Amino acid sequence: MDAFLLDSHIKHELNVPLGPQTWYGVGGNARILAHPSSAQQLSALAAAAHERKMPVYVLGSGANLLVRDEGVDGLVIKLDDPAFKQLKIEKNIVTAGSGYDLAKLLLQTAKLGLGGLECLAGVPATVGGAVRMNAGGRFGDIGRSVRRVKVMDVSGHVYYRDRDDLIFSYRKSNITAKFIVEVEFELTPGDPEELMREVKKIMILKKESQPLPEHSAGCAFKNPTVPTNTRHDGPDSKPASAGKLIDVAGLKGARIGGAEVSGLHANFIVANAGCTAADIFALMEHVKSVVNEQFGVTLEREVVVWP
Ligand code: EPU
């Protein structure tokens, strides 16, 4: 792989710490971190790694990612070259490259009076990462605004996935191709001032209830669906809040090493100085087992873990 990289002139680094590339700030090194500058380079990289049976990982903004302390013995690809950050706006159809910053996109579209993405205010992500796992929250998700997605598979073949065949569910999409290259959104014309008010409202709510300035990966666990007869939610229960369960279990402030359950929102595990990925895993396991013991609910991790 090293010889291929040298010959191909694809920008890359060897043995790079991945911690600084993630919001958690912890974790080991990547054997290779590559920054292709065109779809052709991406395709050549993907094919070379595929041929050599080398595991490939795609790094977005690292906001929902926990890298294990032993690091990643494989190829990490970051689509941060301007080639993957293009933006085209034609009436209400917005086409954004996979590496485009979601926060920037939602502000730009809201200001232009194009609605649909304002519900994602306060979600740190690239467009590709957000679509892959249908980012969103109480106010809506990204999937509902997606018209089609340009993807590339591991052998470098490029094709489109259209709305009819896309399924977006809770933090999940049915996009299986390794790379999202570009996303086409169909937005709804609206009043720019109203859209910006919504963005600000959501940001204020999040700042009040989530430890945004600290090192975390957002919510650590998905919100579970609780059966109607559990002690926690009573007879008419719906999906429950993982944060509320962890809070009621008395776990706010619980610590293992440098990892701590946030005192502001219990579904956020924050990394304090000196924290390791192992501390975060251990605290997640502790939280899972206490919540299971107290409420009979099995929490499922929302954070993506490498490797
Ligand atoms: N709550 C507590 N204690 C806590 C945290 C929450 O009692 O420590 C209560 C709240 O008072 C509220 C309820 O639990 O009554 C729900 O809390 P919140 O409104 O914060 O929503 P959430 O279900 O915990 C979800 C998403 C967030 C998203 C928010 C707002 C999940 C796992 N979480 O949180 O997404 O920001 O809605 O849209 O789906 C993320 O995915 O990383 C994330 C942070």
pLDDT digits (tens, 9 = 90+) for 128-153: 999 999 999 999 999 999 999 999 99
The closest-lying atom of ligand 1 relative to the alpha carbon of residue 223 is: 32
pLDDT over 70 percentage in the chain: 96
Residue 304, H or E segment: strand 304-306
Please tell me the distance between residue 218's alpha carbon and the centre of ligand 1 in angstroms: 10
Helix (H, G, I), strand (E, B) or coil at 167: coil
Q: Which DSSP letter does residue 220 get? A: S
Q: What CA–CA distance (Å, rounded) separates 171 from 143?
A: 10
Q: How many CB atoms sit inside 10 A of residue 22's CB?
A: 22
Q: What is the identity of the amino acid at 216?
A: S
Mutate which of 118, 134, 138 for ligand 1 pocket (most atoms within 8 A of beta carbon) = 138
Give the chain's mean pLDDT.
95
Please tell me the distance between residue 288's alpha carbon and the centre of ligand 1 in angstroms: 17
**CA angle (130 as vertex; 129, 135 as ends), nearest 5:** 140
Burial of 227 by CB count in 10 Å (0-12 exposed, 13-18 middle, 19+ buried)?
Answer: exposed
Handedness of CA 107, 113, 117, 120 (dihedral sign): positive
Q: What separation, in Å, do the N-terminal and C-terminal C-alpha atoms of the chain show? A: 19
User: Pocket residues for ligand 1 (CB within 6 Å)?
Assistant: 137-139, 209, 218-219, 222-223, 241-244, 247, 265-267, 302
Burial of 60 by CB count in 10 Å (0-12 exposed, 13-18 middle, 19+ buried)?
Answer: buried
Nearest CA to ligand 1 atom 36: 137
Q: What is the identity of the amino acid at 99?
A: G
The closest-lying atom of ligand 1 relative to the alpha carbon of residue 209 is: 20
Please tell me the distance between residue 243's alpha carbon and the centre of ligand 1 in angstroms: 6
Q: What CA–CA distance (Å, rounded) separates 132 from 120?
A: 14
Query: pLDDT 10s digit of each residue in the chain, 307 long?
Result: 888 998 889 999 999 999 999 999 999 999 999 999 999 999 999 999 999 999 999 999 999 999 999 999 999 999 999 999 999 999 999 999 999 999 999 999 999 999 999 999 999 999 999 999 999 999 999 999 999 999 999 989 999 999 999 999 999 999 999 999 999 999 999 999 999 999 999 999 999 999 999 999 999 999 998 766 544 445 455 679 999 999 999 999 999 999 999 999 999 999 999 999 999 999 999 999 999 999 999 999 999 999 9
Burial of 253 by CB count in 10 Å (0-12 exposed, 13-18 middle, 19+ buried)?
Answer: exposed
At residue 238, the pLDDT reads: 61
- On the CB side of 15, CA atoms within 13 Å amount to 0
Rg over CA atoms, the chain = 20
